[in-house]
Amino acid sequence: MVARNVISDVLERIPQGSFLMTAAHDDTQTGVLTPRLQICSTDPCLVMVSIPRGTPLEPLLRDSRCFGICKITEADRLVERRFNPPPQRGDDPYVAIPTSQAITGAPIIHRCEFFMDCELVGHMAPEADCRIYLGLVKAIGVVKNQEDPLTFNVMESIEEMVGSKKIYAN
- State the SS3 of the chain: CCCHHHHHHHHHCCCCCCEEEEEEECCEEEEEEECCEEEEEECCEEEEEEEECCCCHHHHHHHHCEEEEEECCCCCHHHHHHHCCCCCCCCCCCCCCCEEECCCCCEEECCCCEEEEEEEEEEECCCCCEEEEEEEEEEEEECCCCCCCCCCEECEEEEEEECCEEEEEC
pLDDT for the residue numbered 121: 97
| Rounded percentage of the chain residues whose pLDDT exceeds 70 | 90
How far from 20 is each of 95, 110, 112, CA to CA, in Å?
15, 12, 9
pLDDT for the residue numbered 160: 33
Taking the model in full, what pTM does it have?
Answer: 0.83
- Cα angle 72, 75, 80; round to 5: 60
Please state, in angstroms and rounded to a whole number, the distance separating the CA atoms of residues 165 and 158. Answer: 10
5: confidence class by pLDDT, cuts 50, 70, 90:
confident
In this structure, which topology does domain 16-169 adopt according to CATH?
Pnp Oxidase; Chain A (2.30.110)
The answer, yes or no, to whether residue 170 has pLDDT greater than 80, is: no
Q: Give the mean model confidence (pLDDT) for residues 48-62.
A: 94
125: Cβ contacts below 8 Å, ≥ 6 apart: 53, 131, 132
pLDDT for the residue numbered 39: 93
Q: Give the mean model confidence (pLDDT) for residues 37-58.
A: 93
pLDDT tens for 82-134 read 998 888 888 889 998 999 999 999 999 999 999 999 999 999 999 999 999 99
pLDDT for the residue numbered 29: 94
Q: Give the mean model confidence (pLDDT) for residues 15-33.
A: 92
Nearest 5°: phi and psi at 113? -80, -45
pLDDT for the residue numbered 132: 96
2: confidence class by pLDDT, cuts 50, 70, 90:
low
Q: String of b and e for 94-112 (b: at least 16 CB within 10 Å)?
A: beebebbbbbbebbbbbbb
The answer, yes or no, to whether residue 15 has pLDDT greater than 80, is: no
